[in-house]
């Protein structure tokens, strides 16, 4: 259907468009114990960042309390959070990673 006909047809048939599914921010939280070098390696490994970008994000978390690692569809974000939390747990670091809706 041509784009210019869509609205008129939806009105006539009482259809409503479905909004695109929300995206989710994956956020790292600061703590006093997880080593800076470990956080940099996590950001490089799980979020495909280069060393320089990973360092910028780590320092933002360290200085501001939190920082966004990436924005993904819900299932991808949930997998990233689970991977980071499990890796930190296995290495006995208290690092916390959360997801939150991006609107
Ligand atoms: N604040 C930690 C330190 O001084 C470093 C750190 C950065 C910890 C980011 C967690 O998500 C984090 N060693």
In a domain, 25, yes or no: no
In a domain, 3, yes or no: no
In a domain, 7, yes or no: no
How many domains does the chain divide into?
1
In a domain, 29, yes or no: no
| pLDDT (tens digit per residue) in 13-52 | 667 899 999 999 999 999 999 999 999 999 999 999 999 9
Cα 66 to ligand 1 centroid, rounded to whole Å? 10
Q: Residues 36, 22: contact at Cβ < 8 Å?
A: no
In a domain, 8, yes or no: no
Cα 70 to ligand 1 centroid, rounded to whole Å? 18
Predicted confidence (pLDDT) at residue 73 exceeds the cutoff of 80: yes
Residue 14: the pLDDT is 60
In a domain, 51, yes or no: yes
Angle at 34 between CA 28 and CA 39, to 5 degrees: 50
Predicted confidence (pLDDT) at residue 1 exceeds the cutoff of 50: no
Cα 29 to ligand 1 centroid, rounded to whole Å? 8
Q: What is the mean pLDDT of the chain?
A: 91
Question: What CATH number does the domain containing 82 carry?
Answer: 3.30.1390.10
Residue 39: give the domain boundaries.
35-103
Q: Which residues does 80 contact at the CB level (< 8 Å), separation at least 6?
A: 26, 46, 47, 69, 70, 72, 97, 99
């Amino acid at each position: 259907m041509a784009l210019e006909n869509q609205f008129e047809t939806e009105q006539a048939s009482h259809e409503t468009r479905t909004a695109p599914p929300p995206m989710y921010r994956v956020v790292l939280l600061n703590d006093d114990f997880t080593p800076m070098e470990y956080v940099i390696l996590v950001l490089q490994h799980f979020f495909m960042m280069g060393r320089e970008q990973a360092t910028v994000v780590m320092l933002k978390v360290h200085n501001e309390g939190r920082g966004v690692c990436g924005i993904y569809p819900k299932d991808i974000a949930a997998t990233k959070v689970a991977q980071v939390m499990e890796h930190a747990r296995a290495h006995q670091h208290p690092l916390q990673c959360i997801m939150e809706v991006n609107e």
